Amino acid sequence: MKLVRYGAKGSEKPALVDSEGQLRDLSAHINDITGDMLDDGTLDNLRSLDPNNLPIVEGDPRIAPCVGDIGKFLCIGLNYSDHAAETGADIPEHPILFFKANSAVIGAYDDVIMPRGSTHTDWECELGVVIGKTAKYVSKVDALECVAGYCIVNDVSERHFQTQLTGQWTKGKSCDTFGPTGPWLVTRDEVPDPQSLGMSLDVNGQRMQTGNTATMIFSVAEIIEHLSQLFTLHPGDVISTGTPPGVGMGIKPEPVYLKKGDVMELRIDGLGVQRQEVGRDD
The CATH number that applies at residue 225 is 3.90.850.10
Q: In the sheet where 13-17 sits, what is the strand order?
A: 23-25, 13-17, 2-6, 185-187, 147-154, 125-131, 238-240, 73-77, 96-99
Contacts of 214 (CB under 8 A, 6+ apart): 195, 196
Q: Is the pLDDT of residue 282 over 90?
A: no
Is residue 252 in a domain?
Answer: yes
103 and 15 in a single domain? The answer is no
Domain coverage including residue 46: 2-53
Q: Beta-strand (E) ranges in the chain?
A: 2-6, 13-17, 23-25, 73-77, 96-99, 105-106, 112-114, 121-122, 125-131, 147-154, 157-158, 179-180, 185-187, 198-203, 206-212, 238-240, 263-268, 272-280
On whether both 108 and 171 belong to a single domain, the answer is: yes
Number of structural domains (the chain) is: 2
Answer whether residue 57 shows pLDDT above 90. Answer: yes
* CA 63 to chain CA centroid, nearest Å: 14
Give 84's pLDDT tier (boundaries 50, 70, 90).
Answer: confident
Q: Are residues 95 and 174 in the same domain?
A: yes
Q: Where does the pLDDT of residue 162 fall: very low under 50, low under 70, confident under 90, or very high at 90 and above?
A: confident
- 37-45 mean pLDDT: 97
Mean pLDDT, rounded, of the chain: 95
Please give the residue that has the higher pLDDT: either 118 or 81.
118
Query: What confidence category does residue 183 fall into, taking pLDDT thresholds of 50, 70 and 90?
Result: very high
Q: What is the pLDDT of residue 133?
A: 97
66 falls within a domain: no
